[in-house]
Copies of this chain bind each other. A is one copy, B any other.
Amino acid sequence: MCGIFGIIGHPEASNLAYLGLHALQHRGQESAGIVSSNGDALRFHREMGLVADIFTAPTLEKLVGSAAIGHVRYSTAGGSQLKNAQPLCVEYADGQMSVAHNGNLVNAQELRQQLVAEGAIFQSDADTEIIIHLIARSRQPTFEKKVTEALSKVKGAFSLLFLTHNQLVAVRDPYGFRPLVLGRLRNSYVLASETTALDLIEAEFIREIEAGEMVVIDEQGLRTSQPFAPTRLGRCIFEQVYFAKPDSVLFGMSVYEARKELGRQLAREQPAAGADLVIAVPDSGVPAAIGFSQVSGIPYDVGLIRSHYVGRTFIEPQQSIRHFGVKLKLSAVRQVLKGKRVVVVDDSIVRGTTSRKIVKMLKAAGALEVHLRISSPPTAWPCYYGIDTPSRQELIASSHTTEEIARYVTADSLGYLSQEGLGAAVGDRERNTFCTACFSGKYLTGDLTAQAASPQHTNPGITLLSTPEELPGKQLLA
């Protein structure tokens, strides 16, 4: 997953991009980058790591100019592999361009094959590089038209920010999978994945960029168009359930309030009569747990404490010390839990291993009963639109019933929110404005269920990887 930020018309563009990326850090912790333009030329800096570690005062000072775009990128699950950071910056026929991309293309593989057949060379495995090649090859007269032509060939999820020496262009795919919002800070325009970035820099929220909309900002001001064929909406429901920051307003809704409503609906569908208290798996489960408590009348309390010092580089414990993963992050509050029948609310179950550890930790801390309640339906299908889910084989709900999962995680009961309840809670009872593929298997860009079932690919976009350290070939490497 990724977060993007752009600003044009502000003398401290790169400083603001830095702050904006910090606010979007939850959308990607693997790498970050900023490109700036001073009207003549682009400058950039990108590195692996967190925003606060990557950028120093001297680095930001070099990123001169009144326009900038930035990008944060997610660390993939098993990931000791490095992935290329964004924004990408290239030289092409009309000068320089850079791009920051949130989302994932589903026809990347075939486009890439066409391009290389025509002589294109690729230096990364990012599907974003495909978009750049398509723009560079377009014969259209203007940058906007080149972008339009290029994007009309790609399929999938894209919220994009382009920066050239004199233009900032923002585009959102016709389904509107990934969010993108427009704001204003005095005389400058600001674009960001989420409103929380606007709030941090005290920019005013104007509106969402609409699905399928292209916005161009330059010295003439802002102009908008809808250059793509219209289609139904497919806004990512998982952004509401888990991914976005709770203080953001997403797809017109408060994330925090939406999650609380998920918890309320969950309490209606999956009550836990006789339980003594409701706790959350912090921090993401907190709003739904509070909502659950409100509807059920079961008191909310804090049964798990989240460490502020969760290091991603924690050393693997030795032989005699195992299964510390969750314990390094969460501690149980024994006196709250002891002798109690506890409802624990989490946002989702992926492989089930973490839930199992949490349930065991709660029981070890004295909980008499643990009733696990999940504020979304079973996650049974991989996402091909930008969320880093594991393969279908690894998703426990793809091959196990709720009862089997309950037994595996050792919970006394397990209740998921229904798909209908999910739709109702986010105000889309028909579920026709959201993409719910991870719960339903209904992939809006065409049937991908066969691919999802294949053990080889979790992500249809790219099969040829190239990273700074490794360029694996067509066959698996020894």
Contact = CB atoms under 8 A, between A and B. Distances in A.
A41 B320 CA distance: 24
A196 B306 CA distance: 12
A448 interface: no
Nearest to A60: B315
Interface string A443-473: 0000000000000000000001010111111
B57 A316 contact: yes
Given A45-B469, A290-B301, A331-B247, A121 B92 contact: yes
Interface in A297-356: 299-302, 305-311, 313-321, 324, 327-328, 331-336
Interface in A113-155: 116-123, 132-133, 136-138
Count of identical protomers in the assembly: 4
Nearest to A315: B57
Nearest to A304: B247
Interface string A7-46: 0000110011011001101100100000000101111110
Contact of A121 (B29, B90, B317, B318): B90
A290 B302 CA distance: 9
Nearest to A116: B93
B64 A478 contact: yes
A254 interface: yes
A392 to B, nearest CB: 26
A122 to B, nearest CB: 4
Interface string A47-85: 000111101110010101000000000000000000000
Given A200-B327, A311-B52, A478 B38 contact: yes
A262 B309 CA distance: 26
B246 A474 contact: no
A243 B319 CA distance: 33
Contacts of A464: 91
Nearest to A113: B93
B333 A123 contact: no
Contacts of A176: none
A181 to B, nearest CB: 14
Interface in A76-105: 88-93, 95-96
Given A328-B200, A464-B91, A309 B43 contact: no
B286 A290 contact: no
17 contacts: A12-B320, A15-B317, A19-B328, A26-B308, A40-B473, A41-B475, A64-B478, A93-B116, A93-B118, A96-B473, A119-B133, A119-B138, A199-B331, A199-B332, A245-B331, A247-B331, A283-B306
